Structure 1
């Protein structure tokens, strides 16, 4: 078999596999509502601008935040990281 044939066969095997897409749902909106915490108050406690809290609050999937921010959210909302995130596996999807 030619090298092109081997490449095509290998490529087909890779692309015919199923992939599971994982989603981490960001639940800051729900946690803040439960705590009756406003953007302004949380921003004051964390020492950030209220727009930064608004941005984080409006995310549906886990945002790129640093350890310090994540720790501060947990501290000032009196919650654990698992209160702020939820793991939701999507259905398998064909790559074909």
Structure 2
């Protein structure tokens, strides 16, 4: 998938655990884990906003686009 998450990097930079972030933004640790692993198919803007607010970052700090090599000619 061409969208990758750097949520674990931002958590490490802020010295915050997944559990603390999940509690602060009101989602389960399991759902946060899905976001961190890149297995999520979607994210609500309200959740993204809450993550950015708690981590004092911008969406681009936690989301990145890397094109698939096999789809680069489309």
TM-score range, shorter chain: 0.7 to 0.9
Query: Contact 2:5–2:37 at 8 Å: present in 1 too?
Result: no
**CA RMSD across the alignment:** 2.3
Aligned positions, number: 72
Q: Counterpart of 1:59? A: 38
Instruction: From the CA coordinates, give the structure whose radius of gyration is larger.
Output: 1
More strand by share: 1
Normalised to the residue count of structure 2, the TM-score between the two structures is 0.77
Deviation at 1:80, TM superposition (A): 0.2
Unaligned runs of 5+ in 2: none
Q: Please give the secondary structure, in 2, of the residue aligned with 1:89.
A: coil
Partners of 1:69 and 1:76 in 2: how far apart? 11
Partners of 1:44 and 1:89 in 2: how far apart? 33
Unaligned runs of 5+ in 1: 1-21
Partners of 1:77 and 1:38 in 2: how far apart? 11
Partners of 1:80 and 1:56 in 2: how far apart? 16
Q: Please give the secondary structure, in 1, of the residue aligned with 2:67.
A: strand
* Alignment match of 2:60 (pick from 62, 66, 82): 82
